[in-house]
Chains A and B, each alone.
Chain A
Amino acid sequence: MNPARTLWLLLVALFVFSFGLAAKLQPQFQSLESTRRQSANFFSLLLGDSSKIFANSFFVKADAYYHSGYYPTIFDNNSAFQTPHIAEDTGAVASHNQGAEDIGFMGPPRDWIDAFGRNFIPNRHTHLDEGGPTDDLSKSSQVREILPWLKLSAELDPENIQTYLVTTFWLRTRLDKVSEAEQVLREGLRNNPGNPQLFFELGQIYDENYHDIARARNIWEAALRSWAREEPDVPQSDRLKMTLENFDDRFMFEQLQTSLALLEEKSGNTATAIARWQQAILAAPSTADMQQHIEDLKHKLAEQPSPASSK
């Protein structure tokens, strides 16, 4: 056989093989790319899973700003700073802090250099929303300084619900930036579709800030449906058992039912409110007050003239 012809045939065969391989792999590669594009933002693409470590660092940085730089390092006693205070103050997380935060983490000076150096660093426990180092309450809006780090943290780890909740809390309650808080929650819901905690916060904005009761009710009911969908195979009674493991589940359920009950009371739907309170009792650790409130509502309902008698 002519060697030149053999070479040409081999080349054609290789070309056909590579074309076939490319045709086979291309669809798989395209689907992989589109999944990646959907799930990852710029930072995730750049840093991979390590972006979550950076996100946590920036969240802690926001807490350091909240204390105007007075913050323990890895060399200090940080038992009073286990849970960032910016998160603790929102009530979104359970606190793991031990000891009084006002007692300094630095302890007594170790030597004269340490004692001298403490004059050049923040050396007093303050909170920005209480005026910071100047203790001037008129400057409480300076708490805005924590926002860049929270924003960066949310961009680095878009799946961390706590960051959205904390950002929303400070924007809504201390800085009166309701529209921005709503945007943060909607961004959070885009990244974590159907999250009941984010829905709950969004409902609060519609209830407390926009006074749009109908929409708040819809959102909270959607949150309850999401809560049920999270673990469809587990019966509700199991999820509401009084154990430490399902604390978050119970807490969310109770908050949603309580908020809906209060909303119904506000709307004058006492019967529906009683039903909501009865649901809330299932998840509440102490029920005496709620039970009493239900009894009061029942009395109120009994005193109300029925629509038939009023006619």
Chain B
Amino acid sequence: MRTIFALAGVVIKELYRRKDFYVLFILTIVICVIMASVNIFNDNQIVRYLKELCLLLIWVSSLVIAITTTARQIPAEREQRTLLPLLAKPLTRTQLILGKFLGCWLACGLVLICFYAFFGALAASREHAWPLLSYFQAAILHWMALGVVIAMTLLGSLVFAAPSSNSTICFVVVATILCVGRYLDAVALSLHEPLRSVIYAIYYAIPHVEIPFEMRNLIVHDWPLIGWKFIGLDILYLLAYMAIFLVAACLVFRRKPVN
């Protein structure tokens, strides 16, 4: 376990040495501050459009950071020829995969803390309220969804040849799930066999990361807290998908030549 955490620490250090996060964070702040400065009928309590924009930017930024950071982990080790010495140490291939995953996931967690702190401050500046539990629910599910995306991207980095192709495919898949994942069953109902069964199979097979994504509406419009039972169930559901992708990644990596 200590080896996995040591490897994860290296990934986290890599994230704060790179400029991706800083650029996206500053960009989010600048866009939100500019939008907040717009005068809307001399009413400075209007906040929901800002909250929606800010949460959307947080989701986009966090997905960019998660996918681009994860997609280059193993290909970079291979290109720099550090993979073989790394595996020569007392480190199994499974530990390497888990270390890389944990590093990327924790790094995304740190990123989310910064983003959600800014979001909370922005909302409080207009609303004068701190619905911290709602923000916590949103952030924890967001982090879990990112975990699924990271595990999927890690598997992709072992299947696809280049980090660029892996990133592009992951972005397309995640964007599709976020936009239409929830409605695939409704689409399937309007189709004839065998296409109906194919769409249904896809609907049940994909990880529904759009559930945390669509939770933004509850935060934006100040809906009451979601029952903790449902939060727990969604966390278990997303953890199961993380495990599936990680097991698949370990199996693929075991048969992969190191050089």
Asked whether, in the complex, the Cβ of A121 is within 8 Å of the Cβ of B218, the reply is yes
Judged by a CB distance under 8 angstroms, whether B191 is at the interface is no
Of A113, A117, A122, A149, the residue contacting B221 (CB under 8 A) is A122
| 7 examples of A-B residue contacts, CB within 8 angstroms | A68-B221, A114-B185, A117-B182, A132-B221, A134-B222, A145-B46, A147-B46
Judged by a CB distance under 8 angstroms, whether A116 is at the interface is yes
Closest to A76 in B: B186
In the complex, what's the smallest C-beta–C-beta distance from B22 to chain A, in angstroms?
29
Asked whether, in the complex, the Cβ of A120 is within 8 Å of the Cβ of B41, the reply is no
CA distance A145 to B217 in the complex (A): 14
Judged by a CB distance under 8 angstroms, whether A171 is at the interface is yes
Question: When each residue 130-157 of chain A gets 1 if its CB lies under 8 Å from chain B and 0 otherwise, what string results?
Answer: 0011100000000011011101000000
CA distance A199 to B220 in the complex (A): 36
Q: What DSSP secondary structure best describes chain A's contact surface? A: helix
Judged by a CB distance under 8 angstroms, whether A177 is at the interface is yes
* Max count, chain B CB within 10 A of own CB: residue among A113, A119, A120, A184: A120
CA distance A229 to B164 in the complex (A): 63
Of B42, B203, B224, B227, the residue contacting A177 (CB under 8 A) is B42
Judged by a CB distance under 8 angstroms, whether B258 is at the interface is no
Extra inter-chain contacts (8) besides given A110-B185, A113-B203, A116-B230, CB under 8 Å: A69-B223, A116-B211, A116-B233, A120-B214, A144-B41, A151-B40, A175-B43, A184-B41
Q: What DSSP secondary structure best describes chain B's contact surface? A: helix
How many B residues have CB within 8 A of the partner chain?
36
Across the interface, which residues of B come within 8 angstroms of A133, CB to CB?
A: 221-224
Judged by a CB distance under 8 angstroms, whether A164 is at the interface is no
Asked whether, in the complex, the Cβ of A120 is within 8 Å of the Cβ of B221, the reply is no
Known contacts A69-B220, A110-B186, A147-B40; A120 and B212 CB within 8 A of each other: yes
CA distance A288 to B186 in the complex (A): 51
In the complex, what's the smallest C-beta–C-beta distance from A190 to chain B, in angstroms?
17
Asked whether, in the complex, the Cβ of B185 is within 8 Å of the Cβ of A144, the reply is no
Q: Range of interface residues on chain A?
A: 20 to 34
Across the interface, which residues of B come within 8 angstroms of A149, CB to CB?
A: 49
Number of A-B contacts (CB under 8 A): 88
CA distance A69 to B47 in the complex (A): 14
Of A120, A132, A180, the residue contacting B42 (CB under 8 A) is A180
In the complex, what's the smallest C-beta–C-beta distance from A47 to chain B, in angstroms?
19
In the complex, what's the smallest C-beta–C-beta distance from A48 to chain B, in angstroms?
24
Asked whether, in the complex, the Cβ of B230 is within 8 Å of the Cβ of A119, the reply is yes
Across the interface, which residues of A come within 8 angstroms of B234, CB to CB?
A: 116, 120
Of B41, B210, B223, B233, the residue contacting A147 (CB under 8 A) is B41
Asked whether, in the complex, the Cβ of A122 is within 8 Å of the Cβ of B218, the reply is yes
Question: When each residue 12-46 of chain B gets 1 if its CB lies under 8 Å from chain A and 0 otherwise, what string results?
Answer: 00000000000000000000000000101111011
Closest to B49 in A: A148
Asked whether, in the complex, the Cβ of A117 is within 8 Å of the Cβ of B208, the reply is yes
CA distance A149 to B220 in the complex (A): 15
Asked whether, in the complex, the Cβ of A144 is within 8 Å of the Cβ of B43, the reply is yes
Asked whether, in the complex, the Cβ of B226 is within 8 Å of the Cβ of A122, the reply is no
Question: When each residue 168-203 of chain B gets 1 if its CB lies under 8 Å from chain A and 0 otherwise, what string results?
Answer: 000000000000001101110100000000000001
Judged by a CB distance under 8 angstroms, whether A303 is at the interface is no
Across the interface, which residues of A come within 8 angstroms of B72, CB to CB?
A: none
CA distance A149 to B233 in the complex (A): 36
